[in-house]
Chain A
Amino acid sequence: KQEVTQIPAALSVPEGENLVLNCSFTDSAIYNLQWFRQDPGKGLTSLLLIQSSQREQTSGRLNASLDKSSGRSTLYIAASQPGDSATYLCAGAKTGGTSYGKLTFGQGTILTVHP
């Protein structure tokens, strides 16, 4: 069974710090990785999608990387702001087999950026 693990489970940083959220998966086979943000009581907002042929994607202060050989993805947030406080989830998917099309989610990292 594909498992996705996110470390740390929670992170608290002062405003302005650069930070890294980690996501690892047990199957390093072909993989697409999508990062989401969830605010309390809200739905999930897609941040970045890294396809299996890519190594990283960037959007503003966010940069996500994918290393299939080690089964890891990282989400880098530069110059963090209080508005970045949320739960960040990664989700991986295979492009073949019986899990085709499914996303498997990690448990999330709860990020708090304090002023």
Chain B
Amino acid sequence: DAGVIQSPRHEVTEMGQEVTLRCKPISGHNSLFWYRQTMMRGLELLIYFNNNVPIDDSGMPEDRFSAKMPNASFSTLKIQPSEPRDSAVYFCASRLGLAPYNEQFFGPGTRLTVL
């Protein structure tokens, strides 16, 4: 299995631009999680889906952030407009089932820099 796939791996953009991060979960996994990691705040859960349905988006920092999961094999995290404080590494993770009885697997992350 290829594992969780994220693209792009690096993104540099200017303040005010729209940014779209992409994730392909492990085949067969029906729960998908978006995290953000910074030195100051550590690893934060932004939103997670089960069977393509958003379960909890309470971690999404602002209305500028939105996430979708149109099918079982694809999810996007969009920031519009982007700001310098959004600079971070964004991770996608997937798991079989919503209950945490199974391991959660992470993608390699997207390093976002907003100038």
Contacts and interface: CB of A to CB of B under 8 A. Distances in A.
A32 interface: yes
Contacts of B45: 102-103
Interface string B72-106: 00000000000000000001010000111111111
A34 B99 CA distance: 13
Contacts of A93: 100
B109 interface: yes
Contacts of A103: 33, 45, 100, 104
Nearest to B55: A101
Interface residues of B, number: 25
A103 B93 CA distance: 11
Interface string B22-56: 00000000010100000000110100101000011
B109 A43 contact: yes
Given A34-B103, A49-B103, A105 B108 contact: no
B108 to A, nearest CB: 5
Given A101-B50, A102-B48, A95 B91 contact: no
Given A95-B100, A100-B98, A101-B99, A108 B42 contact: yes
Interface centre among A44, A49, A105, by most chain B C-beta atoms within 10 angstroms, is: A44
Nearest to B97: A101
Given A43-B108, A44-B91, A101 B48 contact: yes
A46 B105 contact: yes
A101 B108 contact: no
B106 A45 contact: yes
A68 B102 CA distance: 19
The 3 closest A-B CB pairs, nearest first, are A93-B100, A44-B106, A43-B106
18 contacts: A32-B101, A34-B100, A36-B106, A42-B108, A42-B109, A43-B108, A44-B93, A46-B104, A49-B102, A101-B50, A101-B56, A101-B98, A101-B99, A101-B100, A102-B56, A102-B100, A105-B42, A108-B42
